[in-house]
Amino acid sequence: MARAFVPALTATVFMCVAAVVLAPLVRSQTQSDLAKYTVGKVKSGYVYATPPTRAMEDDDFQNPGSLWVDKGKTLWSAVDGSAGKSCQSCHNAAATSMRGVGATYPKFDAKLGRVIDLEQRIGLERQRMGAVPWEWESDQLLAMTTYVKAQSHGMPVNVSIDGPAHATYEEGKAFYQARRGQLDMSCQQCHVQNNNRLLRTEVLSQGQTNGFPTYRLSWQALGSVQRRFRECNEQIRAEPLAYGSPQYVALELYLAGVGKGLPIETPSVRK
Ligand code: HEC
Ligand code: HEC
């Protein structure tokens, strides 16, 4: 039994989960399948997910996230805004033009002089069309983010954390390590120091972001990575930040930097 490191969460909350992690995998899942989701010490949430959840992710027909990919595909060719254009008018087929693009976000935008995430990039594209940017967590923004990201499915996370993006990466790292909330906890305490232990009924993964937007069974919906950040902040009774806040964008860049090389899994399925 592991020690409880947070009195408020009680000793029963964290337990050694070697039994869960080492339990025999379903017959179709070999260690080499899982090796795809591991780069050195870096492991995708896929590795911590149960075999049925992994199977749901792997099968396009069962994966509920596929619905958002389909919606995104419809939106890609839908004309909207004062310029009378669709995404497709300028970019043609997403399978070609967007291949690998999602894996490079968050990214430094030279015109704006700051790092932006994929949702913000899509907002700028909407403005380019003379259309109103979609709201955060709207079905449309989730669908387009998922659709663009899915064009990089299986490709390695490939963000730049050097040069003009470096300061933002460092800001994200500082945020990740800072304690906050009534429970006075950092992201790192759960996802690094207590990685692989049980928190209530959930195995703590490394908190990687390569699968987002993610379909969460507990949400019964697809959600952005920032929705997850907000929920993790709320778990320790910290005030969640607004969607698109610079701190969350920096956090996204930091985590993508840590998870560099992991395959893009969008849309992943998690508990
Ligand atoms: C009027 C033409 C036009 C339309 C319409 C348009 N885009 Fe773009 N888009 C561009 C251009 C040009 C660039 C490259 C601009 C740059 O480098 O700053 C770009 C860049 C992008 C990028 C970033 C590529 C990268 O390598 O970082 C993404 C993602 C993107 N567009 C998605 C979309 C989506 C999604 C839509 C529809 C909602 C859309 N675009 C509509 C012209 C367009
Ligand atoms: C009290 C413990 C706790 C803290 C503190 C915490 N999280 Fe989490 N987080 C969880 C749990 C539980 C889950 C769901 C199981 C898992 O993947 O670890 C989760 C999941 C995640 C995931 C999804 C992983 C995936 O594969 O889908 C990300 C990303 C994440 N957390 C990031 C963060 C960030 C960033 C912070 C700090 C702002 C943070 N977490 C703080 C408990 C915590």
At 27 the pLDDT is 43
State the distance from the centre of ligand 1 to the C-alpha of 84, rounded, in angstroms.
15
What is the rounded average pLDDT of the residues 17-41?
63
Lowest average pLDDT, out of 22-26, 134-138, 159-163, 208-212, goes to 22-26
Q: Which class is 66-150 in CATH?
A: mainly alpha
Residues of the chain with pLDDT > 70, as a percent, come to 88
Q: What residue's CA is closest to ligand 2, atom 8?
A: 232
Relative to the CA of 270, which ligand 2 atom is closest?
A: 27
User: Which residues is 85 bridged to in the sheet?
Assistant: 80
What percentage of the chain has pLDDT greater than the value 90? 86
Q: Which pLDDT band holds residue 33 (cuts at 50, 70, 90)?
A: confident
Q: Quick check: CB of 47 below 6 Å from ligand 1?
A: no
pLDDT at 202 over 70: yes
With 50 as the cut, is the pLDDT of residue 19 above it? no
Q: In CATH, which superfamily holds the domain spanning 7-21+38-43+165-270?
A: Cytochrome c-like domain (1.10.760.10)
Q: What's the pLDDT tens digit per position in 135-146? A: 999 999 999 999
> HEC profile for the chain?
CCCCCCHHHCCCCCCECHHHHHCCCCCCCCHHHHHCCEECCEECHHHHCCHHHHHHHHCCCCCCCHHHHHHHHHHHCCCECCCCECHHHHHCCHHHHCCCCHHHCCEEECCCCEEECHHHHHHHHHHHCCCCCCCCCCHHHHHHHHHHHHCCCCCECCCCCCHHHHHHHHHHHHHHHCCECCCCECHHHHHHHCCCEEECCEECCCCCCCCCCEEECCCCEEECHHHHHHHHHHHCCCCCCCCCCHHHHHHHHHHHHHCCCCECCCCEEEC
Residue 91 pLDDT grade (very low, low, confident, very high; cuts 50, 70, 90): very high
Whole-number Å distance, alpha carbon 48 to ligand 2 midpoint, is 12
User: Tell me, what's the pLDDT at 9?
Assistant: 46
Supply the pLDDT for residue 29.
57
Task: Verify whether residue 232 is a known catalytic residue.
Answer: yes
pLDDT (0 to 100) of residue 1: 35
Q: Which ligand is nearest to the CA of 183?
A: 2
Out of 183, 186, 191, 222, mutate this one to test ligand 2's pocket (max ligand atoms within 8 Å of CB): namely 191
**Contact between 181 and 167 (Cβ < 8 Å):** no
Check pocket membership of 148 for ligand 1, CB cut-off 6 A: yes
70: CA distance to ligand 2 center in Å? 28
Higher pLDDT, 13 or 117: 117
Q: Which of 128, 155, 158, 266 to mutate to test the pocket of ligand 1 (most atoms within 8 A of CB)?
A: 128
Residues 6+ apart with CB under 8 A from 61: none
Among all chains, which residue has been given the structure tokens 């399978």?
Answer: 95
Query: Which residues have CB under 6 Å of ligand 2?
Result: 45, 185, 187, 189-191, 199, 202, 204-205, 207-209, 211, 214, 228-229, 232-233, 235-236, 251, 270
Mean pLDDT over 192-219 rounds to 95
CATH 1.10.760.10 segments of the chain? 7-21+38-43+165-270, 66-150
Q: Dump pLDDT digits (tens) for 148-193.
A: 999 999 999 999 999 999 999 999 999 999 999 999 999 999 999 9
Residue nearest to atom 28 of ligand 2 (CA): 207
Distance 88 CA to ligand 2 centre (A): 35
**Residue 10: CA count within 13 A, CB half-sphere:** 3
pLDDT, greater one: 201 or 264: 264
CA of 5 to the centre of ligand 1 (A): 47
Q: Name the pTM for this structure.
A: 0.92
